[in-house]
Amino acid sequence: MVLCHTRTKTASVLPIADDKLRVLNRIEDTFFSACVEIEVTLPDLEVISAKGKFERCFTDECKAAESLLQKAVGLRVGSGLTKLVDSLLAGAQGCPIVATLVFEACDAVILSLTAEQMAMADALDEQQRQDGFLQMVQMNPRLLNSCIAFDENGPLLKGKL
Amino acid sequence: MLKFTRTKHVGIERPAKDKIIAHGFLDDYIYSMELDVEFSLPHYEITKIDGRMKRYTTPECPRANEILQNAVGMRIEPGLAEKVKKQIGRAGCRHYATLLLECCYAVISASIGFARADLEAEGLPADDDAVRRRLLVMLPSIRNRCMMYAEEGPLANRLFG
Q: Do A11 and B6 touch (CB under 8 A)?
A: yes
Distance from CA of A30 to the nearest CA of B (A): 8
| Percent of chain B clearing pLDDT 90 (strictly above) | 87
Q: Is the pLDDT of residue B117 over 80?
A: yes
How confident is the model at residue A122, as a pLDDT? 86
Task: Give the number of other CB atoms < 10 A from CB of residue B136.
Answer: 18
The torsion defined by the Cα of B122, B123, B128 and B130, in degrees rounded to 10, comes to -60
Cβ-based contacts of A30 with chain B (< 8 Å): 109-110, 113
pLDDT in tens, A9-25: 999 999 999 999 999 99
How confident is the model at residue B95, as a pLDDT? 98
3-state SS track over chain A: CCCCEEEEEEEEEEEEECCEEEEEEEEEECCCEEEEEEEEECCCCEEEEEEEEEEECCCHHHHHHHHHHHHHCCCECCCCHHHHHHHHHCCCCCCHHHHHHHHHHHHHHHHHHHHHHHHHHCCCCHHHHHHHHHHHHHHCHHHCCCCCCCCCCCCCCCCCC
User: For B117-134, what is the mean pLDDT?
Assistant: 96
pLDDT in tens, B2-42: 999 999 999 999 999 999 999 999 999 999 999 999 999 99
CA A92 to chain centre: 23
A61 — pLDDT class (breaks 50, 70, 90):
confident
A114 — pLDDT class (breaks 50, 70, 90):
very high
ipTM field? 0.95
Half-sphere exposure of B56 (CA within 13 A, CB side): 21
Does the domain at residues A7-115 carry the CATH identifier 3.30.390? yes
Q: Do A148 and B113 touch (CB under 8 A)?
A: no
Inter-chain CB pairs, A–B, below 8 Å: 161
Ordered by start, the domain boundaries in chain B are 6-160
Contact (CB, 8 A) for B76 and B108 = yes
pLDDT in tens, A69-102: 999 999 999 989 999 999 999 999 999 999 999 9
The rounded distance, in Å, linking the Cα atoms of A146 and A65 is 32
B161 — pLDDT class (breaks 50, 70, 90):
low
How confident is the model at residue A153, as a pLDDT? 94
Q: Is the pLDDT of residue A60 over 70?
A: yes
Among B19, B60, B67, pick the best mutation site for testing chain A contact (most A Cβ within 10 A). Answer: B60
Q: Do A111 and B113 touch (CB under 8 A)?
A: no
Distance from CA of A80 to the nearest CA of B (A): 14
Contact (CB, 8 A) for B4 and A115 = yes
The mean of the pLDDT values for chain B is 95
User: For A137-155, what is the mean pLDDT?
Assistant: 94
Q: Is the pLDDT of residue B153 over 80?
A: no
Q: Is the pLDDT of residue B96 over 70?
A: yes
Q: Give CATH 3.30.390 domain extents, chain A.
A: 7-115
